[in-house]
Structure 1
Amino acid sequence: MTGSEASPSFRLAYVPGVTPTKWVRIWNERLPDIPLTLLQVSAGEAFGVLRDGGADAGFVRLPVDSDDLSAIPLYTETTVVVVPKDHVVAAVDEVTTEDLADEVVLHPLDDTLGWERPPGEPAFERPATTADAVELVAAGIGLLLVPQSLARLHHRKDLTYRPVTDAPESRVALSWPREATTDMVEDFIGIVRGRTVNSSRGRAKPAEEKQQPKAGRPARGGTRGRPTSGRSTERNPRDGSGGGRKPKSGGKGTKPRRRS
């Protein structure tokens, strides 16, 4: 038996802007014996990492080539424009692409919005990365349109952002190689989809399985042989409420009416 078989692990890639913390926490709670390794990759590298076996699954940005990769769309992000805090755009709640027609709009090489033609006036050259473009916005060179999570990721005190109502949106998905849909991949899919440990796809550990009542003890009534004196543990067959409640009298009120 090889070392990898003796000590399995799950490798999860994720692109900038995605926060996998919630799903990782659930994985560690359900499968503590299988370590999960996080691998941050750029949006452009993510698919190559999955195809080359560098990760078992990954959070990516759509579209995904469906020929050899499977994907489950998760959510769609709002697109925002990043501007200096003293820019006129900062004075409004939202803008359209037409509002940016006279602005220099930066278009980094790692752009994730898939523009046919970005709005505004193009810069003399395209920044290599979104991080580089943010620095240029801070220097007053131009504006930048990105998914909201990337604006938060590259937050600066001297910059702010506003929603762009008619811009393309970025969609985030969970993806994995179609021919490598392992049990661990299925487990992670179940976590992302919100399945419980007792669902048909979940692999509940023995300690998490429901305990069966022991022989000689009734299924109801807890571990005690008899109900507490003066109370009934049986449920009311009419309204489903527990025992021990006094019946109401006198119609709507809880006290009996006095006779005149």
Structure 2
Amino acid sequence: MSRIKCFSAQLLFITGLLTAGGLIATVNDTKPVVIESEESKTKDLTSVFNEIRWIPGKDQDVWMMNQSHFGRHPGADKWERLAIVIDKTQKPMVARYYQLEPGALVWEKDLPQKRVEYRASCFICHNNGPRALRPLSESAEASLKWPDRLKIQLWNLRIKTYGRIRYSPEHDQEDSSLRVPFGYHTKEDRDELKVKTCIYCHNESGFLARGFLQRQQTGTIASLVQRGEMPPPGFSLSEKEKYELQDFLRGF
């Protein structure tokens, strides 16, 4: 082997080690990331900012978030603290959702006792545990350096690999006592989307299963479709399916 080829091979090997080391370091880095949400807006159509942290564990993963509807730097009491806890000991996995008193993104065993009433119904956006993180790519107030961009991609990959996640039955039991319920239970609210292309993933079984979408989730569905996030790459709706989806979104 010539010296040039030998040097090139060594360089590729070192580059591979550095890349692998960088990926491992990124996966193990559980520091929070702050994003300006690409999809979420306040009622006045201003930006929503999310500070997100993933806390992995053997039996459970915890996804915590501080959310601001008052700009990038509100007062400490203006952040809304939320958590989704994934119980990995069950198959399929089970998620518990919490709205918590303002505070740091640190999970403690007594936090479920510090929960407060939901500001919005979790199930409207989260029918399958945590959702993909979608930062505004050119944000001026929450710009992301490449390590955080990579971290978000890896976190999104982790979310995808969970498969089907069901919410804990305790959320249905608590609904009757809450002003804002976890989800809605009328027959109309629970009507399921059955467009053929959508149910490749949005069904109850199989590797791609993400749970049937329901009529109470039409706002989220419409937003993702309008922005081209759904259907995902590799899938497309036929003209007939587009009409079926629009009928569903209109309530027919």
TM bucket, shorter chain: under 0.3
What TM-score, normalized to structure 1? Answer: 0.20
- Higher RCO structure, 1 or 2 (CA under 8 Å, sep 6+): 1
Higher share in helix = 2
The structure whose Rg is larger is 1
